[in-house]
Amino acid sequence: MNQIGFLGLGRMGAAISIRMAEAGSSVTVWNRSRTAAESELLAAGMTRAESAAEALAAPISFSMLADDSAADAVLSRENIGVAGRRRVHVNMASVSAQMADLLTRRFSDADVKYVAAPVLGRPEVAAKGGLNILVAGPREAVEEVDPLLAAASVRRWVLGESPRQANAVKVAMNFMLLHALESMGEGIALVEAEGVDGSDFVDLFTSTFFGGPIHQVYGRIIADRRYDPPGFTVALGLKDLTLAEQLAAERRVSLPTAPVLRTQFETALADPALAGLDWSVIAELGRTRSS
């Protein structure tokens, strides 16, 4: 039985840890605050770690933390400790490429292998084992953790031996997804302004030019205005946009559409009625202008 630690029990982290436990791993979990999800995981047979350091001491540990700040604080040099035996840590969060570099050095200094494995998919997809996972890190470590990642995914995309490569690809994917949300919102607002039902329009574009899962899932959410509960919040969407802007600045790549997206997300985040909803709620800004 694999002995693993899992840090970060938001909706995504909880779903992934459950899949790993169901696949036969013995899972020790840790979260910065006590949550309802944690109670459910303990009831399912998992063990609570008393500290982040205890969870990180497992032979293989995973983390799904909110952002760079959380990753920096939780995956601290003090919490990592000193490797008395071979250990691997897998960071499944969407962090910046710069944070990936910092964590790679930090874990290396402790003689712990570090793998980046950000995910593509919503929590309900993880619960069904349907994620795509972007993986980069030392080859042997990647091969060692692949069976564990397989419990929550349909495919692991190995992108290189530098962890930052996986995080850079996730940043680029999310940047494209942000555009899909904005374009669907604008298109639906256009047809609704002409008296065409938004759901009919979603049926049209998902059956013809835009048949992928992003358009199918989020097109329906936007048409039906089902923004609660959020699978991914407005604040996290703005975080991912910021990561794309930072990576572009580092690599001197031009992102001319980024300012438009920033305006949309900052506007939604400033509205108390929208701020706590799913990030696709930016579609409501277009509807407001057209009404």
Annotated catalytic residues are 170
Tokens 């009625």 correspond to 273
d(CA 73, CA 230) in angstroms, rounded, equals: 25
All residues at 6 or more sequence positions from 282 whose CB lies less than 8 Å from its CB, including other chains: 181, 182, 185, 234, 237, 264, 265, 267, 268
Q: How far is CA 153 from the centre of its chain?
A: 13
Please state at what angle helix 11-22 crosses helix 36-43, rounded to 10 degrees.
0
Mode of pairing for the β-strands spanning 119-120 and 131-136 = antiparallel
- The rounded distance, in Å, linking the Cα atoms of 65 and 263 is 26
Residue 161 · residue 136 · CB < 8 Å: yes
Question: Counting beta carbons within 10 angstroms of the beta carbon of residue 22, is it exposed (0 to 12), middle (13 to 18) or buried (19 or more)?
Answer: middle
Q: Which residues contact 52 (CB under 8 A, 6 or more apart)?
A: 7, 30, 74, 75, 76, 79
Q: What are phi and psi of 105, to 5 degrees?
A: -65, -40
Sorted by sequence, the CB contacts under 8 Å of residue 112 that are 6+ apart come out as 80, 83, 87, 88, 89
The CA-based angle 239-243-248, given to 5 degrees, is: 150
Cis peptide before 229 (omega within 30 of 0): yes
The phi, psi pair for 60, rounded to 5°, reads -130, 130
